[in-house]
Amino acid sequence: MFAPVAVYFILFKYIPIGGLVIAFKNYHFLHGVWGSEWVGFKNFAMLFTDPATVHTIRNTLLISVLSMAVGFPFPIILAILFNEIRMMWFRKSLQTLLYLPHFLSWVIVGGMVITLFSQETGIINSIWEKLTGRTYPFMYQEPSWLAIFLGAGVWKEAGFGAIIYLAALGNIDPHLYEAANLDGANKLRRIWHITLPGIMPVIVLMLILGMGRVMEVGFDQVYMLQNPVVSNIAEVISTYIYRMGLQGAQFSITTAMGMFEAVIGLILVMISNGIARRFNQSLW
C-alpha cells in the first residue's frame, strides 16, 4: 500500500532535487544542464542585490506570516465548535457546507471573489454604495486586497483543515469531560483544560509543518486575485518564478529563488521542532 506513495515521492520530489544544480549555472537550452557554464553563487548574489527581488521576498514573507496568523487558528476553532454540536444531522450538514470550498478550484473561488467585490457590478459594492453613496475599489487598494486575500484563503481551507483536529478530538477520553462536569467546570473551562491540551500534540505538529511552508504562497490564489494596481504587494515568489522563469526563460535565477525558498523552509522547520522539543512535543 505504501509503494505508490513511495514511487510518487521518488519520481516527483527526490529525483527533481538534482535539477537544483541549475541554480549554480548560467543555464541555456542548447547547452543543457551539464553543458551550461558554472557560475557558482552569482545567481544568488543577483537575487539579493536586485531591489525588486528583495521586495518580492518581503511580500512573500509578509503574506505567509499573516496567512499563518489568521488561518491557523480557524480550523482549531471550527473543530471545537463542531465537537460541541450534539444534533448530528445539523453537524453533518454544516460540516459538508464548510468542507465544500476546499474542493473548488481557485479559478472558481477567485472568480466568485472578484464578482463579489467588483467596483462596478459587485454585490458588496452595491450594498456599500447604498450605505455611503459611492463605491469602493476593494480589489485595487492594498489593505483591502490583502484582507480579501486572507479571508478567501480561510473560507476555502478552514473547514477541510478542521478534519484533522476533529480526528484528534475523537481520541480524548469522554470520562474527562464527565469528571470536569461533576466538579462544576463550565463549557469554556472544559475546552481550555481538556480539549486544547488533548489536541495540543496535533496543533504543534501542524504548526511545525506550517512553518515549513512560510515562504510558500500558493500560486493559484495569488495569480487569480492579483492585478497590476496591487502588484506592489501581490508579487510573491511563486508569481515571480512564473513570470521570470516560464515567461522570461531565466531558469537559473528562478531555480536559485526556489532553492532559497526551500532552504528557509527547512531552517524554520528545524527551529520550530527545536522549540517544540523543549515542551516535549517535537517530531523527532
Asked whether 172 and 194 are in contact (CB, 8 A), the reply is yes
**Structure confidence at residue 36 as a pLDDT band (50, 70, 90):** confident
* Alpha-carbon span 162 to 19, nearest angstrom: 36
Cell triple for 54:
528583495
- pLDDT given at position 85: 85
- pLDDT given at position 94: 87
Q: Where are the domains of the chain?
A: 41-277
Helix (H, G, I), strand (E, B) or coil at 170: coil
* Alpha-carbon span 6 to 12, nearest angstrom: 10
Q: Is the dihedral of CA 135, 137, 143, 146 positive or negative?
A: positive
What would the mean pLDDT of 172-188 be, rounded to a whole number? Answer: 87
Q: Percent of the chain at pLDDT above 90?
A: 29
What integer best gives the mean pLDDT of the chain?
88
pTM of the model: 0.86
For domain 41-277, say whether CATH 1.10.1740.10 is its number: no
pLDDT in tens, 108-141: 999 999 999 988 888 998 999 888 888 899 999 9
**Structure confidence at residue 86 as a pLDDT band (50, 70, 90):** confident
Cell triple for 192:
481550555
pLDDT at 281 over 80: no
What would the mean pLDDT of 181-195 be, rounded to a whole number? Answer: 88
